[in-house]
Amino acid sequence: MKFLSLAFLCCCLLPAFAQKSRDRNVYQMMVYHFNAAQEQGLDSYLEKDLLPAIRRAGVKKVGVFKPVANDTATTKRLFVFVAHKNGTDAVKLKSVLEADKSYQQQAAAFLQAPHDKPSLGRIETVLMQAFQFAPEPTLPSLTGTVNERIYELRSYESASEKLYKSKVHMFNEGGEIELFKRLQFNAVFYGEVIAGSRMPNFFYMTSFNSMADRDAHWKTFVDDAEWKTLSAKPEYQHNVSRIEITLMHATPYSDF
C-alpha cells in the first residue's frame, strides 16, 4: 500500500519538477516503526532481501540508520534512504520488486507475515527532490569507528510556502550549503519534501566521527562570521518555524 501511494504521488507531483531540474535526484525515505521483538527480523529482511533487490533495480547505494534514542524507546524506528536518478525510477521500484522472483521468494516470510504475528508496525514514506545546489547524495568521508559515527537528520518546517522558499534559497543561493562544506559537516543529502506529513519542509543529513565531533562542529558553525552575516539578512528572517533533529547510527549493512 505504501508503494502504491508513492507511485500515485510521483505521477501527480513529479512532472511539475521535471522540466525545472532534470538532473536532481529523487529521494525516498522509508521510516519503519517496530518493537524489540521485531528488530532482528527487520534487520535480516533489509540486509538480505530488500537492499539487494533495490540494488538490482539500479540503485547504487542505500542508507539504513537507527536513532540513538532507539535504545530506550518502546516503539523503535529505522530509516531507509534510497536515492533514485529521477521520479520515473522511484515509481518503477514497486513493480520491479514485485517482478523480482528472488526477492519475493526470499522475503516471503517477512512480506506474508500473519495478522497475529506482524513483521513490523507501520511504514512511513517521505518523497523528496534533491536541492539545486546539491543534486545528488554524497558518501561521507569519516574516520571514526562505525559504532561512534553520528548521522544527524534534520527537518526544517516553515510557516508558509513563501518562508519555506526563503529557507531553501538560503541554503542554495544564500550559501549555507557551501558553508557546511567549508566547515566539513560531511553532508549526505539535502532534499525538498514533495510528499510528506509535515509540509512545507525539507530534510538534510550531516555526519560526524563521534558525538563530541558533532558538538564541536555545531559550535564552530554558530560562531562562524559567515553564518552570522547570512542569518542576519532581512530576507531570511523567521523562515523556520520548527526543527526536528534525529541523531542516528548507520547499521552495519548501510552503504553510507
* 3-state per-residue secondary structure call for the chain: CHHHHHHHHHHHHCHHHHCCCCCCCEEEEEEEEECHHHHHHHHHHHHHHHHHHHHHCCCCCEEEEEEHHHHHCCCEEEEEEEEECCHHHHHHHHHHHHHCHHHHHHCHHHHCCCCCCCCCCCEEEEEEEEECCECCCCCCCCCCCCCCCEEEEEEEECCCHHHHHHHHHHHCCCCHHHHHHHCCCCCCEEEEEEECCCCCEEEEEEEECCHHHHHHHHHHHHHCHHHHHHHCCHHHCCCCCEEEEEEEEECCCCCC
The CATH code that applies to domain 2-129 is: 3.30.70.100
- For residue 78 the three cell numbers come to 529505522
pLDDT value of residue 71: 75
Residue 27 pairs in a beta bridge with 83, 128
pLDDT value of residue 70: 76
Instruction: State which fold the 135-250 domain adopts.
Output: Alpha-Beta Plaits (3.30.70)
How many Cβ atoms from other residues are within 10 Å of residue 217's Cβ? 19
pLDDT (tens, 9 = 90+) of the chain, 256 residues, equals 444 455 555 555 555 444 445 689 999 999 999 999 999 999 999 999 999 999 999 999 999 999 998 777 788 999 999 999 999 999 899 999 999 999 999 999 999 999 999 999 999 999 999 999 999 999 999 999 999 999 999 999 999 999 999 999 999 999 999 999 999 999 999 999 999 999 999 999 999 999 999 999 999 999 999 999 999 999 999 999 999 999 999 999 999 9
Q: What is the pTM of this model?
A: 0.90
Residue ranges covered by each domain of the chain: 2-129, 135-250
How far is the C-alpha of 37 from the C-alpha of 118, rounded, in Å? Answer: 10
Q: Which residues contact 34 (CB under 8 A, 6 or more apart)?
A: 42, 75, 76, 77, 78, 120, 121
Same fold, 2-129 and 135-250: yes
pLDDT value of residue 8: 55
Position of cell 536518478?
A: 85
How far is the C-alpha of 227 from the C-alpha of 219, rounded, in Å? Answer: 11
Phi-psi region of 238 (alpha: psi -120 to 50; beta: other; left: phi over 0): left
pLDDT value of residue 66: 98
